[in-house]
Amino acid sequence: MEFRPDHCPAKNPNVPAPPASSTNAAATTRACDGRRVQRFQCKACKRTFSTQTFRVDYGLKRVSLDVKIFLALISKVTLRQIAKTHHCTLRTVARRLDLFGKQGRGFHEWRMRMRGIATPWEGQFQLDELETFEHNRRLKPVTVPVLVHKPSYCILHAEVGTLPARKPLSKANLAKLARYEKLEGDVKRKSESREKMTRCFEALARVCDPKAKVFVGTDEKHTYGVALRRLFGERLVHQKTHSSVPRSYKNPLFPINHTFAMLRDNLSRLVRRNWGASKKREKSRATCGSISPGATTCGRSPIAITRRPRRWSRGFARACSR
């Protein structure tokens, strides 16, 4: 399919251009990968641009690293080890992580919008919170609420939020906590669990049929029921499971528990007590953005676009779409 730009990059992309607002210019062949790049010229401002301008890898020098870094990021390899293996800097890998996270989250949201209410979700949804940390396990814990579709194991939404320090703390940890708070502008760390969990349920409300029953499974945390009743009212069918129930195949929350196990196994920064933990929670959000499309696409999901996860991963890493 031939790509035709819908706006000039020098103008506001939210304002669509009129028909035939650009014309083809010369085409070039990239030396780095041999791909043919078509150039265009805007009839209004006379500026030229190319198909590369609209690609995710626009401005990147070593595009051959994209696939390698992406596959390593979802294969439990730390950023420093990726940089060492592929002979690049840590900053290069960190930039790719932010890029893949932003693109992955955008791709995921686009697929959810494309599916829409025309094809209603069937079955139960499950939500639970995965706990990790940034920099320090006791002083900077982090919550990661994840919403999945039980029949397909599809990840519908994920968020990352802060949790207060784990108390009681030793004198040394109290001194560290005071230093951390001073560096962050004397702002005490608070729990964002309720806010992030509510965002997941709001994402569920956007994709569900507004008139149908909504089946949700969670543990017995009180705030889950409050948020669900506020959003869905009488349409809600809420199944609660005590957290002490053995996490086996017979556990009603096995799909979400299994999803957490896969995330911890595939993402180095989610492994318990390891040196690859996030130093900034924004990186955890970027990592969730990178893994969400794969979990959405590679499961038994109604919005799946391929049955070959490896091929899809390479295609996404090449960043062919805008």
Q: Is the pLDDT of residue 287 over 70?
A: no
Is the peptide bond between 168 and the residue preceding it cis, with omega within 30 degrees of 0? yes
| Chain centre distance of CA 298 | 15
66: burial class by Cβ within 10 Å (0-12, 13-18, 19+)?
buried
Q: Which residues contact 195 (CB under 8 A, 6 or more apart)?
A: 161
pLDDT tens track for 8-55 = 887 655 555 544 455 666 777 877 777 888 888 887 777 888 888 888
Round to the nearest angstrom and report the end-to-end CA distance of the chain.
14
- Hey, what are 283's tokens? 């990186």
The percent of residues above 90 in pLDDT, for the chain, comes to 41
Q: Residue 111 — pLDDT band, cuts 50, 70, 90?
A: confident
Report the distance separating Cα 52 and Cα 58, nearest Å: 6
* Cβ–Cβ under 8 Å, residues 62 and 89: no
Q: With CA atoms as reference, report the closest residue to 38 among 52, 54, 20, 22.
A: 52
123 in Cβ contact with 214 (< 8 Å): no
Pick from 314, 309, 286: which is nearest to 297 by CA?
A: 309
| Average pLDDT for the chain | 81
Higher pLDDT among residues 303 and 274, named by residue: 274
Q: What's the pTM value of the predicted model, to 2 decimals?
A: 0.79
pLDDT bracket for residue 192 (50, 70, 90): very high
Q: What's the token pair of residue 70?
A: 């992406």
